[in-house]
A and B are shown apart, each in its own frame.
Chain A
Amino acid sequence: MGLVRNCLLPSDLLYDVPTNIWVRELEGGTVEIGMTDIAQTLAGSIIHCRPKKVGKKVKKGKSVATVESGKWVGPVRSPFSGKIAERNDAVTEDAAILNRSPYREGWIVRIAPDDLGGDRKGLVGVEEAITLYEDYMQEKDLASCIHCAGFEE
């Protein structure tokens, strides 16, 4: 497990640091994406998450879901072009899962990428992510990640 300023970054994931997204490669060539610990901290208590519909085609960098907290609204941007293969209805029903379990129960969508290898080149592993997030958090004036009760690594 990677750690930067009390923010957890699992070692088995890839990261898109500018959009604060993690990626887990699944068997069969699909990818699972979600918000990082840093993203859930910046958002605060998340009250709504609305992933787009299964079957929708998305372009790299475009929104696959919108997330709202009491103080923020923003997109979840896909690091891959492709088609939404599955969405996590649990986060629609209880968006606080994104605060409690950003890396496990809080996955948002699964995507069937058009070019897995090509788009993966834009992502970084945990070691590089730690270095990039150190600068990112300094820029955002974020001293530390905040974990709610029941937080799951």
Chain B
Amino acid sequence: MDDDEGSVTIFMTTGPATPQRCATPFYMATMAAAMDSEARMVFQIDGTLLMKKGVAENLDAREGGKKIIDFIRDAKEMGVEMYVCSASLALHGMTKEDLIEECDDVVGAAYMTEAGLESDMVLTY
């Protein structure tokens, strides 16, 4: 049975300072999952701030548009996995307790490198 729809890893390095860049990556992940691809997002550098409680709830890519937290929830509902880089947590003085419930886990550089190597498609935002 030809049921391998491939895998997609999205590295998200930009954060709330550029809100116009914050919706599309979640939308792409949701679409990949809807196509039955294995879809995961890895948050690094400022992307990690989107996983911080209270940030995505108050952020929209365009004024008055859909909140980023709703893009995140759509992606989760479709089965997208979300991981945060451990070093970026330290960079922003955050701990695991600061992360929203949609975040699956905190990972290290080895995991992130492996995720990129084994994916059929890698997108970086």
Interface positions of A (Cβ within 8 A of B): 56-59, 62-63, 66, 68, 71-75, 81
Contact = CB atoms under 8 A, between A and B. Distances in A.
A63 B3 CA distance: 10
Size bracket, chain B contacts: 10 to 19
B3 A73 contact: no
Given A56-B2, A59-B1, A75 B27 contact: no
Interface of B: 1-3, 5, 27, 30-31, 34-36, 66, 74, 78
B25 to A, nearest CB: 13
Contacts, number: 31
Main secondary structure of the interface of A (DSSP, over half): strand
Contact of B35 (A71, A72, A75): A75
Contacts of A57: 1-3
Main secondary structure of the interface of B (DSSP, over half): loop
B26 to A, nearest CB: 10
B35 A66 contact: yes
Given A73-B74, A75-B34, 5 more contacts: A62-B3, A63-B36, A66-B31, A73-B78, A74-B78
